[in-house]
Chains A and B, each alone.
Chain A
Amino acid sequence: MDAYSVGELNRIIKQTVEGEFLLKNCIVEGVISNVKRHSTGHYYFSLIDDTGSIDMAMWRSKVQQRGLEGALENGLLVQVRGNISFYEKTGRLSFICEDIRIGAKSDYQIAYEKLKQELYALGYFDERHKQALPPVPSCIGVVTSASGAVIHDILHVASHRNPLVTFKVFNVPVQGPTAGPVIARGVAMADADPDVDLIIVGRGGGSMEDLWCFNDRALIESIFKCTTPVVSAVGHEVDYTLCDFVADVRGATPSHAAELSIYPLVDLQEEVQQKLEFIHNTVQYRIQKEKQQLFSITNRKITVPAMNLVHQQKNILQRFEHQLHSAIQKKSQDESRKLAILTTQLDNKNPLAKVIKGFAKVDLNGAPLQTIETVKIGDTLDIHIQDGSVKATVQEVTQRG
Chain B
Amino acid sequence: MDDETRNLAITTCILAGQILIENGSNMDRVNDTVYRMGRAAGLKSFQVFTTVTGMVASSDHLPNAQAVDIRVRKNNLRKVAEVNDVSRRFVNGKLTLAQTYAELSAIDRDQTNLPEWLQCVAAAVLSGALLVIFTGDYGDVIESSLIGGIGYWVFLVLFRKFQIKYISEFSAAVVVGVSAMLLQKVGIVANANATIIGSIMPLVPGIPLTNAARDFVAGNLISGPSRALEALLTAAAIASAIVLVLRYVA
| A joins B in a complex | no
